[in-house]
Structure 1
Amino acid sequence: MARNVSTGRKLITTVVAWTIGILIFFPILWTFLTSFKTEAQAIASPPVFLFFDWTTENYSEVQSRSDYLKHFMNSVVVSFGSTLLGLLIAIPSAWAMAFSPTKRTKDVLMWMLSTKMMPPVGVLVPMYLIFRNWGLLDTRTGLVIVLTLINLPIIIWMLYTYFKEIPGEILEAARMDGASLTKEIIYVLTPMAIPGIASTLLLNIILAWNEAFWTLNLSAAKAAPLTAFIASYSSPEGLFYAKLSAASTMAIAPILILGWFSQKQLVRGLTFGAVK
């Protein structure tokens, strides 16, 4: 039976939700507005919000100084490539842990998650030397590999959670009908977990797109993604806030648009299996 919620409570909940939403969104809005200011207006005190001389000069200068499309394509290849490679590895792994568990399965899951707790700088030197010796330094292939490895625990954990919500009887019925292990995963398990797989894919694309530590340290010019594109506007002479804001807006706009159009699928996947 549904509970009756008072109008006052609805109003308070709405106000609180909008307040939190505005606080979260305000830095993005401020970055967007600053990208249309001059450098003098960007550092003005008190700051100017809407009433300033709007200009697109920062975007023109950013594009003339840096090859945005090259960095953009690097980000697309690295984020989508690492996520798809991670899914190819994680789907069989999560299937094995969800439907053929051993007494060590939970220990393995905790060990994988614990690797995310280690500061990345702790393994920077050996990773740098491995990449240099194997010719992977400043290559898209190298970045795809390293981002796959650092996000793989999250992908496996998310898929394991979704797969656990699928009744094992369905897979047993497929085996009785003669389905091989490969067909069971491809034609039975994967279609049933599409919402969970889709949300995992979207979340890890966002994580890979925003990864800065490894992309800044393992790339230079050829494979540099948009994170390096943004960092190039921080110089010893100081920060050029207007140009930095323009570069940041150009870097985050694609992933914001992707998130906006896929929000329904993302929410559906994150709540997959929550209601039975």
Structure 2
Amino acid sequence: MKKLSAVLVTLFTYVVAVLYFYPVFWMLITGFKKEGDAVQMPPSLFFNPTKENYQLIWDSGVVSFFSNSAVVTLTSTLFALLLGVPAAYVLAMFKLKKAEDILFWFISTKFLPAAGIIIPIYMLFKELQLLDSLWALILLYTAMNVPLVVWMMRSFFKEVPHELLEASRVDGASDIRTFFQITLPLVRPGLISTALLSLIFAWNEFFLAVSLTATSAATMPVHMASFMTQQGLFWAKMSSVASIAVVPALLLGWFTQKQLVRGMTMGAVKG
């Protein structure tokens, strides 16, 4: 019975994995279809593959959009970690009177939908001459991810025994040295998972990018939306450019899956 239950659980896991991956698989193969085959009803797995969609995407300057997304995502994630990790460390390791209020303030910044603040942000960036610039998105994505970094990293820092910090202070280590040489290496899985989630959120963000950019700083999601026209939806071309946009996230998740799982389960006990 134990072997049978193990086999059934394994089969169920594979079925769930296939169901979750099937939309991605369908998107990948649709990118190699002609537009007529992409909208064929009922859909078919059998077709004559073509590379013309990817050739058109390449000619449309997808490299510049891809590089914009990469620069904005990597830079904003780095800034979010630089700001959020020390804040999370202080909130987790030091007794602050208003710690709970500070945490609530961080999470409260996520309550308001982006559509509710886009007009003042647009007017402010217009005055600062930051419209259609990478720095506009970097600043906004950094602000968007800092609350995520603070809340996640605080739960990971909570897992570190305070006895280690006390022992390091007894040995004469400064707070900065304790942070970099003792605490931070212990929460590395959590740091990796936090960074990965920040990267994904910044890479996929669409609303702010389409509202504040035009051509110079447009990102991959904005480029994908350009294939939704008055003439209709170009499913094959949208699938091809979406496949290009999805590949970095898939590869990053694949190569960091062990660290991601360890990080996500590391802070599951304490909040």
Does TM, scored on the shorter chain, surpass 0.5? yes
Aligned to 1:37: 33
Pairwise CA distance, 1:106: 2.0
Kindly indicate whether the alpha-carbon contact (under 8 Å) linking 1:230 and 1:251 is maintained by their aligned counterparts in 2.
Answer: no
Aligned to 1:11: 7
Kindly indicate whether the alpha-carbon contact (under 8 Å) linking 1:216 and 1:224 is maintained by their aligned counterparts in 2.
Answer: yes
Question: Aligned partners of 1:47, 1:274: CA distance in 2, in Å?
Answer: 42
Tell me: CA distance 1:101–1:136, structure 2 relative to 1, closer, same or farther (3 Å).
farther
Question: Aligned partners of 1:117, 1:221: CA distance in 2, in Å?
Answer: 30
> In structure 1, what residue type is equivalent to 2:2?
S
Of residues 22, 26, 41, the one that matches 2:22 is 26
Pairwise CA distance, 1:36: 0.7
Aligned to 1:145: 139
- For the aligned residues, what is the CA RMSD? 1.8
Question: Aligned partners of 1:181, 1:223: CA distance in 2, in Å?
Answer: 40
> In structure 2, what residue type is equivalent to 1:126?
P
Kindly indicate whether the alpha-carbon contact (under 8 Å) linking 1:36 and 1:246 is maintained by their aligned counterparts in 2.
Answer: yes
Question: Aligned partners of 1:130, 1:173: CA distance in 2, in Å?
Answer: 49
Q: Could you state the TM-score of these two structures normalised by the residue count of structure 1?
A: 0.92
Instruction: Give CA-to-partner distance per residue, 1:183-202, whole Å, 9 cap, x none.
Output: 22222221221111111111
> In structure 1, what residue type is equivalent to 2:54?
Y
Question: Aligned partners of 2:32, 2:129: CA distance in 1, in Å?
Answer: 41
Aligned to 2:233: 239
Of residues 45, 62, 71, the one that matches 2:65 is 71
Pairwise CA distance, 1:274: 5.6
Pairwise CA distance, 1:11: 2.8
Count of residues in correspondence between the two structures: 270
SS in 1 for 2:105: helix
Kindly indicate whether the alpha-carbon contact (under 8 Å) linking 2:152 and 2:267 is maintained by their aligned counterparts in 1.
Answer: no
Aligned to 2:186: 192
Question: Aligned partners of 1:46, 1:192: CA distance in 2, in Å?
Answer: 53
Q: Given the alignment of the two structures, is residue 59 of structure 1 paired with residue 54 of structure 2, yes or no?
A: yes
Q: Could you state the TM-score of these two structures normalised by the residue count of structure 2?
A: 0.94
Kindly indicate whether the alpha-carbon contact (under 8 Å) linking 2:132 and 2:217 is maintained by their aligned counterparts in 1.
Answer: yes
Question: Aligned partners of 1:101, 1:154: CA distance in 2, in Å?
Answer: 21
Instruction: Give CA-to-partner distance per residue, 1:215-243, whole Å, 9 cap, x none.
Output: 11111111111111111111111111111
Instruction: Give CA-to-partner distance per residue, 1:93-145, whole Å, 9 cap, x none.
Output: 01111011324312321332232232110111011111111122111111111
Kindly indicate whether the alpha-carbon contact (under 8 Å) linking 2:74 and 2:199 is maintained by their aligned counterparts in 1.
Answer: yes
Question: Aligned partners of 1:190, 1:262: CA distance in 2, in Å?
Answer: 18
Question: Aligned partners of 1:17, 1:97: CA distance in 2, in Å?
Answer: 38
Aligned to 2:169: 175
Identity %: 41
Aligned to 2:116: 122
Aligned to 2:200: 206
Question: Aligned partners of 2:124, 2:179: CA distance in 1, in Å?
Answer: 34
SS in 2 for 1:116: coil
Aligned to 2:129: 135
